[in-house]
Amino acid sequence: MRERFWKYAKGDRIIWAVIFVLSIFSILAVYSSTGTLAYQRMGGNTTYYLIRHSVILFVGILIIFITHLIPYRYYSRLSQVFLYLVIPLLIVTLLAGTSFNQASRWLTLPGLGFTIQTSDFAKLALIMYIARALSLKQQVIKSYKEAFVPIMVPVILVCMLILPANLSTALILFGTSIILMFIGRISIKHLFAFAGIGVLVVSLFIGGAFLIDREGRISTWKNRIEDYISGESKENYQVKQSKIAIATGGLFGKKPGKSIQRNFLPNPYSDFIFAIIIEEYGLIFGGLPILFAYLFLLYRAGVIVKKSTQTFPAFLAIGLVITIVFQAMVNMAVAVNLFPVTGQTLPLISMGGSSLFFTSIAFGIILSVSRGIEKNQMDAEPVTT
Amino acid sequence: MSLKQDIVWRVGIVYLVIFFLALSIVGKILYLSFVKGQELSQKARSLTLKDITIDSNRGDIYSSGNRLLASSIPYYQIRMDLKSTAMQQKVFSEKVDSLAYCLSGLFKDKTPSEYKKELITARRNGERYHLIKRRVDYNQLQELKRFPIFRMGKYRGGFIYEQVNRRILPHHNLASRTIGYLTRGNSGNVVGIEGAYDHELKGAKGIRLMQKLSGNIWMPVKDGNEVEPKDGNDVVTTIDVNIQDVAESALLKQLMKHDAHHGTVVLMEVQTGDIKAIVNLEKDKNGIYRELYNYAIGESTEPGSTFKLASLIVALEDGVIHLDDTIDIGNGEIKYYDKIVRDTQKEGYGKITVKQAFEVSSNVGISKIINENYKGREHHFIDRLYSMNLNEKVGVEIKGEGTPEIKYPGDKLWSGISLPMISHGYEIRLTPLQILTFYNAVANNGKMVKPRFVREIRYHGKVLRSFDIKVLNPSICSGETIEKVKQLMEGVVENGTARNLKNSSVSIAGKTGTVQIANEKYGYKLESKISYQASFVGYFPADNPKYSCIVVVNSPSNSVYYGNLVAGPVFKEIADKVYATSLSLQDGFGDLKQRIVDPPYSKNGNYQDMMVVLKTIGIDIDGEEIISDWIITTKRDSFIELKNLLVRDEFVPNVVEMSMKDALYLLENAGLKVVAKGRGKVKSQSIPPGALINRGTTIILEMSFI
């Protein structure tokens, strides 16, 4: 079985291991935390969400498997196509998307009856595009006009299109882009200057939102930010419940399936799944393994960078890994109340279709790079020896 | 530095940054678990566990004849959670019309479109506890449960109902002030028996520990309750619904006739002090007489002439006068300092006896007797009054008894005219119940008993405690004096101010009283007319007192205000009716019993039950020695003959000639299914007696009256 798996699954085995560890936690935590949802929506059929989530995870792994088989060089060209595709999609979503929680984030794909969160797609497309652009411009990378501006324009465009519906995703994507550009050797001077401008724009946007004070999304963030600052309110309820989950979980947890807070935390299976994992498995059996899994992933991306002989695969792998790991860190930081509530999912662990599939594509691409590099080395080795 | 190295160190920096982020997450987890752990766990417990109290069932209040005077019935408050996460918008939009239509049809208070608008607005506002209707009964609740949307239940239909117990008085206004009420909340407004016996009635609340699941769903932690609720005890009062009804209608009639402001009647059983009836009626804003205030217990006023009894008891007890001593009342006026005391009959009586002075209620006569004999030793007179408990509350449990006021020589308000004024019932204050208690003591041969409102406390039909007769004063004066004053009171009806009560079917003894009202609330004037309080207090039958009664009618505005004319007729009507319905009061009942020579026909049935009935109505029995629980009866010339009816296990009993109740009991206990046809007693049974019982088979009974 194992032999057979590795026969087909190529690339970094540690990354594969990370995927499996996260998937196992995902199934356990989602099953435990969907009880209330099952009672509310499925008349108490608790296995419904277990099966549904397992199927989604299985499809996700299938997606990883398929995407990792595609040679990474195809992704270079694909990134351009994706970006051109994603910008109109974002506009359409913003104008006519399905409103969840008053945010136009979702787009129902015509004919498929399937909704996707366009920003998930945009994240993938933008990072891929930046990786490509960075590698193409390495000769003139310190130039403002030739490298900085051409890369920055799509970043700003995409982030601005995500921003009205999903502030936190826009910020995280912007941050990830800056980090990736930093790794890609863009002038630090330019980046700092621009980061400053970015902060200014966002501040103005939020400031404007506060002034306008309309019903809807704006007041949601307004509340969230105010809550984080003032430390008391309605939204703070989830933070309080999350803190209780973590505090009562302690080092060793209450044992699987014994969570109490899952009944009080809104979205215990997505935004606050980390709190439920800590509550049931504790820091030792739940928190640390997950943190290590993401840190390992980042470490292995570093290894890929080191091994890589070309810049595009290196940027592609590190960019996607940072996207995943950074989002994971933000999610966990929110759960432990280091950051204000954002609504970011925990990649590969939170329940969900669309975001999990895009995460899977990202993992697939990372593994494709890893596979390609291993192959190159193997091809190269006989020559050197 | 090569390009690769340049990239690798940058990756290293990013790695470090993220590693520190991870470290701080771990740090925060440790901080939350170890530093904040206890505080948060406590908070968790307070958020997820709670004790809910389970209300106990409040006890009932019964009349002396075991009729319900006050009881609790449940009603329901209907609310709706319009923001229930499980309520689908599609379902709501589709069904809101029919729900609104159903609600409008059931309650008929709003149109369907009003209901629809209300529901849609409430949903838009996200109301989770929207009030649909405050008070619905059980049947309406069952109907509501079947309404569209509601029938999807608490979660998906947002249907919430809460049981609330409401206190009802099956007899409405009847003695309602004395039965009383409890106001909800903390106002502490307790009235009547409900208030006085709240500690008995309320029972004990139960406690159940609940754990929160989600939303607003709570689940009991254990199967049972932590503390089981205990039902309240029942309070059995002394009030007799029939007498109460008689008293109320008699008083009401008179109040309406004289357009009085308010009136009160209290009827007491002489030997026990049992309050058989207590009526308080007051004209409300709309001119309707209702029980608004417990005047009998709460209102202290100057009693006037009814107090003359106490004055004469003192004088007779001290031997300073005799009934046939004469007093000169002159022209019916006497002056004490600047105060002129007048008799109601302006021409005066000249020389009359003490007995006559009492009978005609001569203010001059009585005040002269007391003033002449006690001037200079006023304290002796007042001490005597005090020794008859007249300065003490009778101590009823019901809240708000008025304090009696009889001042003492040397008090700030004591003056030269106090003695003569007190002697005929002024400058003192007593409540109607206090006066009645005093008169009752006279009727009870000097033994003063405390008015008793509650006879026993029961729990689920079992008597927990009964309240004994409480003697306030074993003997207020000598038996001789009692005999004398009884003559006086009989004389009032026979020859005096209450001659209009003479032709009653039962002999009455008592005293009239008419007093100008000196009530703080109304002053000496009400609607620019002098207002009066007419009263009559006494007992009946005069020769063997069974009941004492006081009637007070306040501020009759018509010119007829004398006690005998306003209060007397109420007393008479009550006495007549009570007499007519109380067999024990009537002479000749004993003879009547002897005359029953023809025993009634009786069905066969339960031995114990039969014996209770036969003994009560005094039917002689004869026949064999009864060893079984069931008997066969046969009517004989002067007695009923009893025979054993043997019921053996496994054999069909003989139920012919039995009532349905007994037959059903026997046959169903034996495991048979009973089908009865017709009405009356059992004429025949489809399975003959003595057959072996085959459990579950049907036995058909033919019933008939013949």
- Mean pLDDT over each residue of chain A, to the nearest integer: 83
The amino acid present at A195, given as its one-letter code, is A
What is the domain partition of chain A in residue ranges?
1-69+239-311+326-385, 74-230
Q: Which residues in chain B are closer than 8 Å to A278, comparing Cβ atoms?
A: 29
Alpha helices in B495-544 (DSSP H): none
Q: Which of B18, B44, B86 sits opposite A41 (nearest CB)?
A: B86
Buried b (16+ CB within 10 A) or exposed e, A153-190: ebbeebbebbbebbbbbbbbbbbbbbbbbbbbbbbeeb
Q: Which of A183, A291, A333 sits opposite B14 (nearest CB)?
A: A183
Query: Over the stretch A283-306, which tens digit does the pLDDT of each residue have?
Result: 999 889 999 999 999 999 999 988
Mean per-residue pLDDT, A21-25: 92
Put simply, the answer to whether B14 touches A261 (Cβ < 8 Å) is no
Buried b (16+ CB within 10 A) or exposed e, A24-56: ebbbbbbbbbbbbbbbbbeeeeeeebbeebbeb
- Stretches where chain B sits below pLDDT 70 are 1, 183-189, 213-217, 221-224, 345-349, 517-530, 556-561, 563, 583-597
Q: Which of B11, B19, B86 sits opposite A40 (nearest CB)?
A: B86
- Give A32's Cβ-side CA count (13 Å radius): 29
Helices and strands counted in chain A (H then E): 15, 3
Angle of the A273-282 helix axis to the A13-33 helix axis, nearest 10? 90
> Confidence band (pLDDT; 50, 70, 90) for A98?
low
For chain A, positions 110-169, list CB contacts with chain B under 8 A.
Answer: 138
Q: Which residues in chain A are closer than 8 Å to B36, comparing Cβ atoms?
A: 243, 247
Question: Taking 50 as the threshold, does the pLDDT of residue A385 lie above it?
Answer: no
Q: Which residues contact B164 (CB under 8 A, 6 or more apart)?
A: B74, B75, B76, B77, B135
Put simply, the answer to whether A243 touches B155 (Cβ < 8 Å) is no
Q: Which residues in chain A are closer than 8 Å to B21, comparing Cβ atoms?
A: 329, 333
* Check whether domain B592-705 has CATH 3.30.10.20, yes or no: yes
Closest CA to B570 of B275, B301, B252, B177: B252
Question: Taking 70 as the threshold, does the pLDDT of residue A91 lie above it?
Answer: yes
Q: Is A323 on the interface with B (CB under 8 A)?
A: no
Q: Is B40 on the interface with A (CB under 8 A)?
A: yes
How far apart are the CA of A94 and the nearest CA of chain B, in angstroms?
Answer: 23
Closest CA to A69 of A7, A124, A149, A159: A7
Q: Is B219 on the interface with A (CB under 8 A)?
A: no
Put simply, the answer to whether B44 touches A248 (Cβ < 8 Å) is yes
Q: Which residues in chain A are closer than 8 Å to B24, comparing Cβ atoms?
A: 333, 338
What is the domain partition of chain B in residue ranges?
3-35, 242-584, 592-705
Q: Which residues in chain A are closer than 8 Å to B214, comparing Cβ atoms?
A: 36, 39, 263-264
Q: Which of A179, A185, A261 sits opposite B6 (nearest CB)?
A: A185
Put simply, the answer to whether A249 touches B25 (Cβ < 8 Å) is no
Asked if residue A304 lies in contact with residue A291, where contact means CB atoms within 8 angstroms, the answer is no
| pLDDT value, residue B583 | 62
Put simply, the answer to whether B8 touches A306 (Cβ < 8 Å) is yes
Q: Which residue has the higher pLDDT, A256 or B247?
A: B247
In a mutagenesis test of the B interface, which of A183, A239, A242, A339 is the best target, namely the one with the most B β-carbons within 10 Å?
A183
| pLDDT value, residue B186 | 46
Q: Is B26 on the interface with A (CB under 8 A)?
A: yes
Q: Which of B6, B14, B24 sits opposite A338 (nearest CB)?
A: B24
Name the class of domain B242-584. Answer: alpha beta
| pLDDT value, residue A211 | 66
| pLDDT value, residue B386 | 93
Alpha helices in B170-285 (DSSP H): 176-179, 192-196, 198-201, 241-258
How far apart are the CA of B610 and the nearest CA of chain A, in angstroms?
Answer: 60
Q: Which residues in chain B are closer than 8 Å to A305, comparing Cβ atoms?
A: 7-8, 11
A175: nearest CA partner in chain B: B14
Q: Is A303 on the interface with B (CB under 8 A)?
A: no
Query: Over the stretch A226-245, which tens digit does the pLDDT of each residue have?
Result: 655 555 555 577 888 888 88
What's the pTM?
0.59
Q: Which residue has the higher pLDDT, B261 or A199?
A: B261
CB contacts < 8 A (A, B): 117
Put simply, the answer to whether A329 touches B213 (Cβ < 8 Å) is no
Q: Which residues in chain A are closer than 8 Å to B40, comparing Cβ atoms?
A: 243-244, 247-248
CA distances, B637 to each of A311, A339, B596, B598 (Å): 129, 103, 11, 6
